[in-house]
Structures are given as C-alpha cells and as structure tokens.
Chain A
Amino acid sequence: MNVNIVRSDAPPQAQAVPDVEAPRLGPLAYLACFRGIVWREVLRFLHQRERFFSALVRPLVWLFIFAAGFRQVLGVSIIPPYESYVLYETFVTPGLVGMILLFNAMQSSLSMVYDRETGAMRTLLVSPFPRSFLLLSKLIGGVAVALLQAYAFLAIAYYWEIEPPLIGYLTVAPALILAGLMLGSLSLFISSVIKQLENFAGVMNFVIFPMFFASSALYPLWRIRESSPLLYEICRVNPFTYAVELIRFALYGQIGPRLEDGSLDLTNLYVVIGYTVFFLGAAVYAYNPSKGLIARRGGPGGGG
C-alpha cells in the first residue's frame, strides 16, 4: 500500500503564481484590522433591529416600572455627585446603564466562546495578527455596540426627566468605554473558564444577577451597610460597583467624589483600570484556543 507521490508534471508556471513572501504587517495594517473588526460589530448590530429593540426594552422596563414603584419605598438622601434630593429614577439610571454594559458583555463573550469552533470566530482567528490583538479589537467592537445602546437609553431617559448636565453626556463616554472593556474581558474570562455556563439562563443566574444586585446599582452602599454588613463587604469587592460609581460620577462631569480635605477620591477609576488590566490578561490567556485553558477543557463536541 506504499505509493510514491507521482510528482505532477511541474505545476503550470502560471502568470500569477503567488509570491512566497507576504507583505509585512505594519502599523497601518493593524489599524485597518482594528477598524474592520469594530466596523463589522457596529454594522451587524445596526442591521439587527430586534436586538437593538430588546436591548433597550430591558433597562426601560426597570426605569419606567421598577423605579417608579420603588421610589416611594426608598428615599435617597443627598449623596455625591447629586447636589439635591434626587428621585429614585435619577439614582438608578447609572446602574441601568451599567446593566446594559453587563448584558452586552455577557452576550458577546458567550458567542465568542460558542462560535469558536464553527462560525465567525474561526474566520477571525485565521487572521495573521496576534490573537491578543484580535481579541482586544473584538472586545472594543462589543463596547462600541454597548455604547450605542447606552446613549439611546440615556436619550429616552432624558425625556423621563433624568437630566444630567449636558457636559455629562460627553464625560460619561470614557467611563462607559473603560467599564465596558472591564466587563467584556471579565465575561470572556468567565465564559472561557466555566464550562457550565453553557446557556444564557445560567449566566443570568450565576453572573449577571449576583453582580447586579450586590452592587450600588439599585441602592446606595450606605443603605446596604445598614441592613447587612456582610453584603456591604461583598458589594465592595464587586467590580460592577466600581463601574457603576464611575459612570455615576462621570455622568455629572466628575471623576470621583471629593474628600473632606478637598482632594479627589479616584478609587473608582483606579479599581476599574486595575480590574480591566487583570481580566484582560486573564481572558487573553484563557481564551487562546491553541494554548489557553479553553484548549485543556477538551476537544470539539463532535465531528472528526
């Protein structure tokens, strides 16, 4: 059964035999790749109207129904960055923006993990650029989509009389990007490592709800402290708390609360940056299909 390869009559010395050396990938090539990935994410999102709609409905239901009912129960006293008593709707808006980022991050990360062997991720991963760069670009693409949703939500909320200063709409952008990147890399890390999170219901129960409720999204931290010191401590290690607080202050043109001696408290910013760097590294490591944790989890589900 041993057969020699019959070397074909020399390959047709065709006109267009591709040159062996590929062009070098310089900074411009990286830029083109980055732009292409982000552009595709946004384009796809804009083409899926239902997705846009359902992504908006969720926080709006919270704002219109939950917050309206809750405001009689929970009075919010004057805490920075608010300068007067605020309605509960106003207080909860940054938390709902955070929720938009969180849902988006989870959805796109899950699809990145499950598409890994079949669909869109494979076409992404045969790109010659370093995989860490591809993943980062993809995460930023997801953040860009979340940003569109967050602004659409804020625009509707404006007509619900949640009117942060105009400058806030500008200053909130970097906070949204940073928080979105943190949540995106956290989600990618979690869904790469924990195999049990195979469906979105699992993610809702074990990741999104705990993160959302054990944070300062729905109630100020001092309120939580009064009722449960343990829960308070949990909230204080929850990355989502810092993301929400960063967004809350940024929405009022501030970077953090003022301390008593007049200096700025930058804890929120530093913690979010720290978590972002950490989760990003962990996600790139865990996700890398050829080397990372995901590869050790076992082979493909089926097929040869």
Chain B
Amino acid sequence: MTSSQTDQNMPAASGASAPDALVVNGVSHAFGDKVVLDNVSLTVPRGTFAVLLGLNGAGKSTLFSLITRLYDNVSGEIRILGHDVRRKPGAALQRLGVVFQSKTLDADLSLQQNLLYHAALHGIGRSEAKRRAVESLETVGLADRAHEKVRNLSGGQARRVEIARSLMHRPGCLLLDEPTVGLDIGSRESVIGIVRGLVQKQGLGVLWATHLIDEISDTDLIVVLHKGKVLFTGRLPAFLATTGANSARDAFRIVTGTSSTAEAA
C-alpha cells in the first residue's frame, strides 16, 4: 500500500550528500488498542513543499507529535536532516521549525518578545536574537509591528508571526500543522505564499498538513494519509493519472474511498 520509497534515503547520515529534510520510515503508533498510525513512511527532500493531506482524525497531528518528540516513536525511525529524533533529539530539534495548529504565541507580549523567547529556547544570545527577529519579521512582512502586542494582530498576521518564529533558529525542515484553519482567503494565500517562497529561496523542506485540497499546487509532493495509513505519495499529475480523476478532489475521494467531499472541501 505504501509508496515504494527508495532506500537510498535511509542511511542518510552516512552519505556525504545532503540528507533529506525529513524522513519518516515505517512509523506506527497506538494509543491503547487504537492504532493511529500504521507503518507510515514519507520523505521530504530539501527544497520540497510536501502536502500531508488527510481528513480530521487521519493521524496528522499524531505524526507531528512524534516528529516533534511529544511522544517517542516506538517503531520505525524519524530523521530530520539525517539526525534520528530518538537517538540525537537535540541535533534533530535544532534543525526543525514547527508551526503548531493551536495558537502558541503569548498574546500579552510583543512580537519581538515572542521571537526573543523562542530564540532563547534555542540558546541564541540576545543581540543575535534581535538581529534575527528583524530578519524573520521582514520575511513575513511584519517588521514594522515588532513592538506591538500579539493581541492586536489578526489571525492571519499571528500565523505569519508564528512562521517568523519558527525561522528564528534557521531550520532546514519546517512542519506546519493545519496553518490556514480559520483564516480568510486573503490571509490563507499570504501564508501559503510566504512558505512557498521559503521553499524556493532558501531550499527548506516543508511538510504542510491540511485537509484543504485547494491548497495543492502542481509541483507539490502529495502524501495522502487516511485512517493512519499512507495511501498515496507523489506529484499531482501522478495523483490524477493513477486515479483517473479530473481534479485533486475527486482523486482524493477515490483514493480514500470517502463519498462525501464536504469535509475535504
């Protein structure tokens, strides 16, 4: 069922060539008897925008929890730029940037204070952190509001700050868990545009979890996760070709066997 990932990625650390941004290999996870992830494998090369597509409850958040080491992965392996998250958690987390689904900024603190706190969590000294805060906020177009409180921002702006924050320690791999949920169309496009820009300009590997199919573009790597299993990995043309569908939405419906597209609209 899983895609035939080539094993050239697995001994990533040994190869002199640059390892992939993210490798998830044969990871399963269960809460009690409930299997949430079943032998999940996926690879996000550098400079790739990968869309993790799945309905609510597909296991996306659990996968993110394992990659960010909220839980230990019991089976399989997870590598971030070649570093195994279980054996070298420090090195792996240093190279990883995360935007969580829930809002995690301190509303009462200013944008800059939020970013400085995050920089400290990565051991970055204060003067360097201030330099990077300006730089990161410029990337997301909010440099002029550095001293405002987060409380005064709109939902889309707060998301952009969270992206800026995740860039403070210059990660090579970026995870975003449903970052556009609850945003209006304009904000959504702006957030997606910023992240796509990072992939193109800085060569980041991005894993973007969503249930919104219209966020896919032609060049993205698509990973369909359904009920804990990876049902498809590949680009959009292949997605349409294998399923014989006309649109990504239909293809998703065929692959997952779900009749209702309401959820995936």
Residues of A participating in the B interface, judged by any CB pair closer than 8 Å: 1-8, 10-18, 20, 22-23, 25, 28-30, 32-33, 35-37, 39-40, 43-44, 47-48, 116-120, 122-130, 289-291, 295, 298-300, 303-304
Tell whether, in the assembled complex, residue B123 and residue A25 are in contact, meaning their CB atoms are under 8 Å apart: yes
Inter-chain CA distance A145–B217, complex, in Å, is 48
Inter-chain CA distance A10–B18, complex, in Å, is 12
CB of B188 closer than 8 Å to a CB of A: no
CB of B125 closer than 8 Å to a CB of A: yes
- Kindly list the 8 A-B residue pairs having the minimum CB-CB distance in the complex, ordered from nearest: A36-B120, A11-B47, A29-B123, A299-B31, A22-B94, A304-B57, A47-B108, A127-B121
Select B120's contact among A8, A14, A20, A35, beta carbons within 8 Å.
Answer: A35
* Interface size, chain B (Cβ < 8 Å): 79
Digitize B96-114: 1 where CB-to-A-CB distance is under 8 Å, 0 elsewhere. Answer: 1010101110101100010
Select A5's contact among B1, B43, B96, B203, beta carbons within 8 Å.
Answer: B43
Tell whether, in the assembled complex, residue A304 and residue B100 are in contact, meaning their CB atoms are under 8 Å apart: no
Tell whether, in the assembled complex, residue B65 and residue A36 are in contact, meaning their CB atoms are under 8 Å apart: no
Inter-chain CA distance A10–B45, complex, in Å, is 9
Question: Which A residues touch B36, using CB under 8 A?
Answer: 299, 304
Inter-chain CA distance A28–B126, complex, in Å, is 11
* B1-38, CB < 8 A from A: 1, 3-6, 18-19, 31-32, 34, 36
Q: When A3-B3, A32-B126 are in contact, do A128 and B93 touch as well, CB less than 8 Å?
A: yes
Inter-chain CA distance A2–B124, complex, in Å, is 44
Tell whether, in the assembled complex, residue B108 and residue A4 are in contact, meaning their CB atoms are under 8 Å apart: no
Tell whether, in the assembled complex, residue A44 and residue B106 are in contact, meaning their CB atoms are under 8 Å apart: yes
Residues of B participating in the A interface, judged by any CB pair closer than 8 Å: 1, 3-6, 18-19, 31-32, 34, 36, 43, 45-48, 54, 56-62, 65, 68-72, 81-82, 89-96, 98, 100, 102-104, 106, 108-109, 113, 116-126, 170-172, 200-204, 219, 221, 231-235, 238-239, 242, 255
Tell whether, in the assembled complex, residue B1 and residue A32 are in contact, meaning their CB atoms are under 8 Å apart: no
Kindly report which residue of chain A lies nearest to residue B45, judged by CB atoms.
A11
How far, in Å, is B122 (CB) from chain A's closest CB? 6
Tell whether, in the assembled complex, residue B106 and residue A8 are in contact, meaning their CB atoms are under 8 Å apart: no
Tell whether, in the assembled complex, residue B31 and residue A291 are in contact, meaning their CB atoms are under 8 Å apart: no
